Chains A and B, each alone.
Chain A
Amino acid sequence: MPLEPNFLIIIILVLSFIILQLIVSIFLLYKMIKTKLYNLLPLILFFLINSLLLLNLPYLFFHIIAHLPSICIIIFTKYTFYRDRKSAFKIVLGIVIVLKIADFILKLYIPFSFPMRIEIRSTEIPYYYLYLSIMAGIILLSYLWLGYASLNTYKALKNQSIEPWIKKRYQILGVSSVLLSLNGVIMLFMPWTRKGFEDPLAFTIGILIFTVTIIFSAGSVIGWMMPQRLKTYFNRNFQPIPEVDLSEKELMEKIKKELSEGFDHGNN
């Protein structure tokens, strides 16, 4: 059966998205093994499960793993930015789990999908918007929290003597996460028509969502897999503080001398 043109465009966008996400997840898996940074595991799972969700999975299995990527992002944010530190982790995770359960129960009664492929009765329309709001809530909470954590740390570090490519990584990841959270708002406009992406409004919403998602994926590729050339470009005006190569005795003498004479940091 020939594919409808709208559906074909969506398929191309979805495939681009899957490929980008798989590339990042394989790269991060390699880095996790090499650096023993196990806080990367939820992020790797996020990219893998996200790709998996776009395949034609059995309905029940799909809805069991739906929204797990958002939970992975919340865990990654906690273990990368907020270990041993007061944070909104328990509240954000608690709300997302409750929303995920509500979403699962709702879909046991009415098989909602995005976009809709079945006709719903007028009495079921409020439940359709409840379904959209649940999805929107999960997306907004998880990606905005990562975006906030990343951009907030960038703000704290931007005037410090840190290699600029690292600061750029915070910015790219923060901005792309905030951008992805916009999907939570865009999806609220998805109509309940059963025509799927052949409905003009549903198609426009679909294009917007996949475009935002591809920008996020491209941001993830550039942010996490930044090529050396790009790092060198970002560092072009950076003057690192030179290291000193002293023995322990010489270093301790230097410190004592600086403490007694006072060292000027140029702040006054």
Chain B
Amino acid sequence: MTTEIIKYLGDRLAERIGISPPAARGLIKLAIADELGPLTPLNQINFNDLKVVIEKSLKLRLKNLVQNIDSTTNYMLDKLIKNQSLITMAKV
């Protein structure tokens, strides 16, 4: 199950680098599996987990795909931080 925050971040990444939303969501899920392990339930991921995922594994994944990696990861961090309440609002 993809959570609302992953859908939201996927949509922002898709717009930012010019790929489809499902592909971007898939890329974020791969980054989550890289960082937290493939068996981590997506609905158990919290704000700090997602921050680490963007700063580390998503950044690594983006290295092979886009050139402006730092600005893309900073953009994604900014979107996560500004809309962090979506984690709580969608999970309760």
Contacts and interface: CB of A to CB of B under 8 A. Distances in A.
B91 A259 contact: no
Interface string B1-29: 01010011001001101111111011100
Contacts, number: 105
Contact of B11 (A83, A161, A246): A161
B17 A259 contact: yes
Nearest to A258: B19
Contact of B7 (A35, A81, A83, A162): A162
Interface residues of B, number: 37
Contacts of B44: 35-36
Interface residues of A, number: 41
A263 B18 contact: yes
Contacts of A166: 4, 86, 89-90
A170 interface: yes
Interface of A: 28, 31, 35-37, 39-40, 80-81, 83-85, 149-150, 153, 156-157, 160-163, 166, 169-170, 224, 241-244, 246, 248, 251, 254-256, 258-259, 262-263, 265, 267
Interface of B: 2, 4, 7-8, 11, 14-15, 17-23, 25-27, 30, 43-44, 46-47, 51, 65-66, 81-92
